[in-house]
Amino acid sequence: MKKDSCNIIIIFGATGDLTKRKLFPSLNGIYNSKNLPDNLRIIGCGRKDIEGDIFVDLHENISKSCEYLKVDPSDKDDFISLSKKVKEIENIYNNVNIIYYLSTPPSAYLPIINNLISNNLNKEDIGFKRIIIEKPFGNDLDSSKELNKVLSTGFNESQIFRIDHYLGKETVQNLLVSRFTNFMFNALWDRNNISYIEITAAESIGIKDRGEYYDKSGAIKDMFQNHLLELLCLVAMEEPKVKTAESIRNEKVNVLNNIRKINCIDDVIRGQYLASESSIKKFKSYKENKGVEKNSKTETFFACKLFIDNDRWKDVPFFIRTGKRLPTKVTEIVVNFKKNNNIFSSQNQNNTLIFRLQPDEGMLVKFNLKKPGHKSEIISKNLEFHYKKLGKNVINNAYETLILDVFKGDTMLFSRSDFVEKAWGIVDPISKKIESNKIKLYGYKAGTWGPQKCNDLFRNENNWRYPCKNLVNDGEICEL
């Protein structure tokens, strides 16, 4: 008699860095939280035969149900062997659910997908079949369309999970809840009350050992096309009609549809970090990294100003920036409300709302008070909330959240095919201008906030918020 059910994760690229750094620790975390599905088996796949145990970093109660198979993405015979292994398991259980995790270089995606389909490993005969793909989802609009086309020949959109770990962060998920459940925010969330919005994703590290990949990608394709446009959509989208994954994803696509064509000459800034020295250590330039071309023109810093042409946001500028070797690691969204003309102060102060996504996760509101002992002097103070005050371990690991959502079949935190293609449609014109040398590349010293030219995006008295590691310490000088 067959057993009831079994869950399998088949990891392509099981010997790779991503699996070791992210996937295995996340599976351990899910196990420790007692959320791991019953009867879980893991089949790790790699290009070569190996000696030794690649599952040694997994909890022993997980690793005892793991095995390794040599599966080269382009070797049809290897996929026949994989198919036989799956059939063996299906002969034991009435219900077999399988997740294919493509933890490989993007060049392996198409051959893996084609071989899965040709061996009927996509068929949901006695259980679900779902496929997880890591970014980048293509390198431009044409390649993203090709990837989506191949996927659609064997998988429904509900089976496809394009993973972006940013969307698994608790603080990112909280953006929509904070917006739509708090009347004091929701009622003011439009062009009549908001002056401009900043989205910053800064990293203090360099490119580490990713030189060969990064030099072909750069900050625009590595961060702006996915993470930052996703954050933009969460900030700018309309309230979904219903609380479903498709309704939310529809509204995100609507935002991308309404983004005005970016002025690549005046509203885009690119930079590349140069060697520098702080009081603590020396930093080499981007071009000194292994795998980087000596005359590389790849940007490690990107900033732009864009507009969303709809009733809610018409003519409200959104300023977006991201970069490597900046003063601190921080991801945050800054909502700058319009200045308030009043009889109590000639300075017409404004209010600011900050969503801190990492680190020191939380929210901060800047508001105005009368300075004690002074009838007409106004001071700005902070009203703050920190997630850490809710207790320990309230911020879940993003990968744990997303992997569990794949088991549940919940697609809300994953990118849909039309979103990916719309995002590339925004990025491609910028890339073409870069290829034709129409957008300058500025140098900036490692440890600074990017090229000085970045401040020119505002073209008025406004400027970027310069955050430090701690949520409330804005405006301070951070040193690497």
For 216, the 3-state DSSP assignment is helix
Quote the percentage of the chain above a pLDDT of 90. 72
Q: Which of 179, 97, 30, 73 is nearest to 407 (CA)?
A: 97
Q: With a cut of 90, say whether residue 286 has pLDDT above it.
A: yes
Domain ranges of the chain: 3-134, 167-395+417-457
Gap between the Cα atoms of 414 and 396, Å rounded:
17
Computed over every residue of the chain, the mean pLDDT equals 90
CB count, 10 Å around CB of 367?
12
| Exposed/middle/buried for residue 118 (C-beta within 10 Å: 0-12, 13-18, 19+) | middle
CATH of domain 3-134: 3.40.50.720
Q: For 117-131, write each residue's pLDDT tens digit.
A: 999 999 999 999 999
pLDDT average, residue stretch 217-228: 94
Contact 22, 114 (CB under 8 A): no
Q: What integer is the mean pLDDT of 300-312?
A: 97
Confidence of residue 239 (pLDDT cuts 50, 70, 90): very high
343 against 252, higher pLDDT: 252
Asked if omega into 359 is within 30° of 0 (cis), the reply is yes
Q: Reduced to 3 states, what is the DSSP secondary structure of residue 343? A: coil
Is the pLDDT at 277 greater than 90? The verdict is no
346 pLDDT more than 70: no
- Cα(147)–Cα(376) distance, rounded to whole angstroms? 62
Residue 60 in contact with residue 51, Cβ under 8 Å?
no
Residue positions annotated with a catalytic role? 227
The torsion angle over the Cα atoms of residues 106, 107, 112 and 117, rounded to 10 degrees, is: 90
DSSP string, 160-202: EEEE-GGGGSHHHHHHHHHHHH-HHHHTT-STTTEEEEEEEEE
pLDDT tens digit sequence for 39-86 = 999 999 999 998 888 999 999 999 999 999 999 999 999 999 999 999
- Contact yes or no for 350/337 (Cβ under 8 A): yes
- CB-count exposure of residue 23 (10 Å: 0-12, 13-18, 19+): buried
Q: How confident is the model at residue 473 (pLDDT cuts 50, 70, 90)?
A: low
- Residues paired with 70 in a beta bridge: 46
Question: Percentage of residues in the chain with pLDDT exceeding 70?
Answer: 94
Q: What is the mean pLDDT of residues 438-448?
A: 93
* End-to-end C-alpha distance for the chain, whole angstroms: 63
Q: State the pLDDT at residue 373.
A: 74
Task: Measure the CA–CA gap between 319 and 200, rounded to whole angstroms.
Answer: 8
State the CB neighbour count (10 A cutoff) for residue 215.
19
Question: Cβ neighbours of residue 150 under 8 Å, at least 6 residues apart?
Answer: 110, 113, 114
**Phi, psi (deg, nearest 5) at residue 359:** -80, -165
H helix runs in 361-416, sequence order: 398-408
Mean of pLDDT values over 3-13: 93
CB 332 within 8 A of CB 200: yes
Read off the pLDDT of each residue in 389-398 and give the average, rounded to a whole number: 72
pLDDT band at 385 (very low <50, low <70, confident <90, very high): confident
Q: How far is 186 from 21, CA to CA, in rounded Å?
A: 39
Q: Give me the pLDDT at residue 439, please.
A: 95
DSSP secondary structure letter of residue 354: E
Residue type (1 letter), 378: I
Encoded tokens for 77:
């015979």
The CA distances from residue 412 to 232, 249, 422, in Å, are: 16, 7, 18
The pLDDT score that the predictor gives to residue 213 is 87
Torsion of CA 305, 306, 307, 308, to 10 degrees: -140
pLDDT of residue 480: 45
Structural tokens at position 400: 């744990």
pLDDT at 471 over 70: no
Could you tell me the pLDDT band of residue 345, with boundaries at 50, 70 and 90?
low
CATH class of domain segment(s) 167-395+417-457: alpha beta
The answer to whether 3-134 and 167-395+417-457 have equal CATH topology is no
CA distance 327 to 34: 39
